[in-house]
Amino acid sequence: MSSFPADFPIAKQWPPLHPDRIQLYSLATPNGVKISIALEELGLPYEAHKVDFSTQAQLTPEFLSLNPNNKIPAMIDPHGPQGEALGVFESGAILIYLAEKTGRLLPAEGALRYQALQWLMWQMGGLGPMFGQLGFFHKFAGSEYEDKRPRDRYVSESRRLLGVLDRHLQGRDWMLGQGEAAYSVADIAIFPWVNNLIGFYEAGQLVGFSEFKQVQRVLSAFLQRPAVQRGLNIPPR
């Protein structure tokens, strides 16, 4: 039986103050805050550790022992399946794990379960990568490139994805439908990226965000949730 922290080398780099709680290794980025928001929504006790990319903390042997892909977020649940400590990486996998652990934020069966999963995969395979590339070419080093074709490619694809999202949200409160019960891991995966696109990346005008009224409406509702407001700042920037 594995135990935390003894069997997890990452605990040497980030010693836990509360080893009985879920340990989150993250940054306040769109992928990172997916998990802190979910943990806040679910009310699960956790301890957040900042993985400082400026010091390449994600490349240490300790971090790689938990996530060989050297990305955030990663997580350890000291009370995993069959009572054994479990480490999980990839934000989508962590969201599914937390939802199944608690029986919340993801329907246990039926069509709605697969609708939630398909939109979660849509975010991970499309929305997140496209918005991230657009952010690079618009705000970061890519802005120095004289050739604007790469940026324009990602602007075009980001607009297409926003259109897909806008049409889907017509007549819906959340990705799965009407009412609080429809709020799910799909929303928690998607809307931090939308918020980042128009906030941190400052690309709202570039993609014509004002055209996507349904996305604006649901993003506003998302940002008003107390758990979202708390989770967006964990770990503190």
The pLDDT value recorded for residue 177 is 98
CATH number of the domain located at residue range(s) 111-225 in this protein: 1.20.1050.10
How is the chain split into domains, by residue range? 9-102, 111-225
CATH superfamily, domain 9-102, is Glutaredoxin (3.40.30.10)
| CA-closest candidate to residue 139, choices 183, 197, 89 | 197
The pLDDT value recorded for residue 17 is 97
Please say whether the beta carbons of 79 and 94 come within 8 A.
Answer: no
The answer for 184, left when phi > 0, alpha when psi is -120 to 50, beta otherwise, is beta
Q: How confident is the model over 79-107, as pLDDT tens digits? A: 999 999 999 999 999 999 999 999 999 99
Please say whether the beta carbons of 10 and 25 come within 8 A.
Answer: yes
- Low-confidence stretches of the chain (pLDDT < 70) are 1
Report the predicted TM-score, pTM, of the whole model to 2 decimal places.
0.96
The pLDDT value recorded for residue 1 is 62
The pLDDT value recorded for residue 180 is 97
Task: Give the tokens for residue 148.
Answer: 């604007």
